[in-house]
Amino acid sequence: MENSYNTIVVGAGQAGLAMGYYLKQKSISFLIIDSSSRVGDSWRHRYDSLTLFTPRSHSALPGMNVEGSPHGYPNKDEIADYLENYSRHYDLPVQLNTSVINLFKENKKFHLITSKGNYIAKNIIIATGPFQKPFVPDIQKDVSKDIFQIHAAH
């Protein structure tokens, strides 16, 4: 049995949650899916000293400010908690621990095959973000194995 929605958003980060905010205002049937176990985990798993370079006043999503001084700079954990609170505050339909296995279009509908079942949607929004996997240039293969290499993400 497949679940049907007008819109499915893949990714429960800033972009996905902001889309959820606007979709909910329009009373459109939608679901936000994310592979993480908690909303905000993409921030929680980054390096410990990460602080945003934009102040709280410019880091907020629609309808809800980031707590604290609007001129201060939030750290990664503040943003992670903010995103989790945001999804809870607006009661957004977020389904966690759900990985996308396949996505295809057939008969003018998108078919999403996931680790938690199959879904059909008129619209798909991909909001997974650009920094999910570290980029390591191919040139690293030419560096001697005697030289220790590490990526900033590790």
Residue 154 domain flag: no
Position 84 in a domain: yes
d(CA 83, CA 123): 23
- Please give the structure tokens belonging to residue 138: 């191919």
Confidence of residue 56 (pLDDT cuts 50, 70, 90): very high
Which CATH number covers residue 62? 3.50.50.60
Per-residue pLDDT at 137: 76
Q: pLDDT at residue 73 above 60?
A: yes
User: At residue 149, does pLDDT exceed 80?
Assistant: no
In a domain, 11, yes or no: yes
Whether 59 shows a pLDDT value over 60: the answer reads yes
Average pLDDT score, the chain: 91
The domain of 36 spans 3-142
pLDDT reading at 134 higher than 70: no
Band the pLDDT of 100: cuts 50, 70, 90. very high
Angle made by CA atoms 15, 43, 153, in degrees to the nearest 5: 120
Within-domain flag for 148: no
Q: How many CA atoms lie within 13 A of 101 on its CB side?
A: 9
How many other C-beta atoms are found inside a 10 Å radius of the C-beta of residue 151? 9
Q: What pLDDT sits at residue 1?
A: 41
Q: How confident is the model at residue 153 (pLDDT cuts 50, 70, 90)?
A: low
Number of domain units in the chain: 1
Within a domain: 60: yes
- Residue range 82-109: mean pLDDT, rounded: 96
Distance CA 42, CA 79 (A): 10
Q: CA 87, CA 85: separation in Å to the nearest integer?
A: 6
Choose among 115, 100, 51: nearest CA to 77. Answer: 51
- Kindly state the percentage of the chain with pLDDT values over 70: 92
96 assigned to some structural domain: yes
152 in any annotated domain? no
Question: What pLDDT does 133 receive?
Answer: 67
Counting residues of the chain whose pLDDT is more than 90, the rounded percentage is: 77
Q: Which residues, other chains included, contact 77 with Cβ-Cβ below 8 Å and sequence gap of 6+?
A: 43, 44
Q: Is the pLDDT at 58 greater than 70, yes or no? A: yes
**31 located within any domain:** yes
Segment 90-116 mean pLDDT: 96
Which residues make beta-bridge pairs with 75?
A: 51
